[in-house]
Structure 1
């Protein structure tokens, strides 16, 4: 009743890339603008890279994404290189100045093995001195406690259809949270349910994985205005350099 293509289109409605409105988007736009060659790992529908090209970025822009429906939307722009796959699948060698994982995509790397393979591939894809930029939700903020049907969002999709979307935490096992996203009619008739697992790592654990992969942490922020990580931070924003 609600296809993968419908879900990908709805994602863009719910999560428009807008650096004027969202400081996180502005943060990444600045990094991308300053890099000649950029790989966005887990690029989704490609909004960040499409925005960069529209803004005049003349260098190499590449996105890699495993979700075919999302990638099909990204491929509407043909002057960017789009690749189907995951960060761990990447076979590039010393080709990029910057690799990004935006919109908390890093948290989809749930197991230690997934993390290690992905970080190794990202490290290999970067030139000497290249940077890897990503963010994760700080576990201390316990964002998953806000994922409940009472916080549903009503939205009008691109076709003019009104929908209701909510998230619901199903389980918390150590640092891994399983939750569902439900898309429904306004009367509650369910059209689609997707389940996702995310890993919530603290800064020390992140740094251990990065160091093992050959990265040095260049900067660490607790918000999108480049403030320090504090006891109330909701984000862990990391800039790591290929050592």
Structure 2
């Protein structure tokens, strides 16, 4: 009824990459355009890298993601390297100037081992002095409390190219320490459910995150609590990090 390819297409509709209107995209896009080589981890359908190429990026661009259906959409653009793999399989010695992990993809790393192995692999894929930019939701903001069918702000409605209208919302199915389990429901306007997507997210506090970065050999170059580059404080909803591989 609703295939993996449909889910990948829905992701593009729900998450258009637009640095002119979305503050998170406006944060990352100048970093990407200024770097001669970029590795986008958890690239999904590749919208950020595809736009970079369209806007004139002439350097090496590579996107890595384990989702084959998403990469099938990304591969419509053939002048970018698309790699089916998880972050811990990033190629060592690749010499990228910048690595990114957008869309809160870092929160899909659920264990200390997964975080360590991924950060270590990312560091190895960067050139000396290369940077890794990513974000994770700050646990103090308890974002998951707003992820509910009962919250009208959590509902999205999109129209597919075929003209079919779809509705999408989240629900939390469980909270276990740092791990929040959620479902995303895709339905028709009359409420007919087409598919339920499941996901687990880890909410790491800043001190725990910094310990992982240090253990993997990164130095923290910059840290922000919002997309306007404000400090991390008691009101922050994000932990936005630019880490550097020492030269």
Indicate whether 1:4 and 2:39 are aligned.
Answer: no
2:202 corresponds to which of 199, 204, 208: 199
Query: Where in structure 2 are the equivalents of 1:47-196 lying within 5 Å?
Result: 47-150=47-150, 151=152, 152-196=155-199
List per-residue Cα deviations over 1:64-112 (Å, max 9, x = no partner). Answer: 0100110001001000000101111122314100000000000000111
Give the Cα separation in 2 of the matches to 1:37 and 1:108.
24
Equivalent residue, structure 2, for 1:45: 45
Equivalent position SS for 1:131? strand
List per-residue Cα deviations over 1:131-159 (Å, max 9, x = no partner). Answer: 00000111111110111012322221222
Equivalent residue, structure 2, for 1:242: 245
Give the Cα separation in 2 of the matches to 1:216 and 1:63.
24
Give the Cα separation in 2 of the matches to 1:37 and 1:78.
16
Equivalent position SS for 1:93? coil
Q: What is the total number of aligned residue pairs between the two structures?
A: 243
TM-score scaled by length of structure 2:
0.97
Give the Cα separation in 1 of the matches to 2:29 and 2:194.
34
For structure 2, which runs of at least 5 residues remain unmatched after alignment? none
Give the Cα separation in 1 of the matches to 2:81 and 2:92.
13
Does the CA contact (< 8 Å) of 1:164 and 1:186 recur in 2?
yes
Give the Cα separation in 2 of the matches to 1:37 and 1:142.
35
State the Cα distance separating 1:160 from its structure 2 match: 1.3
Equivalent position SS for 1:149? coil
User: Which moved further from structure 2: 17-26 or 86-95?
Assistant: 86-95
List per-residue Cα deviations over 1:166-213 (Å, max 9, x = no partner). Answer: 100011111110000010111111100111000001111110000000
Equivalent position SS for 2:6? helix
TM-score scaled by length of structure 1:
0.98
State the Cα distance separating 1:54 from its structure 2 match: 0.5
Give the Cα separation in 2 of the matches to 1:157 and 1:93.
41
Does the CA contact (< 8 Å) of 2:14 and 2:156 recur in 1?
no
**Structure 1 outlier segments of 4+, above 6 Å:** none
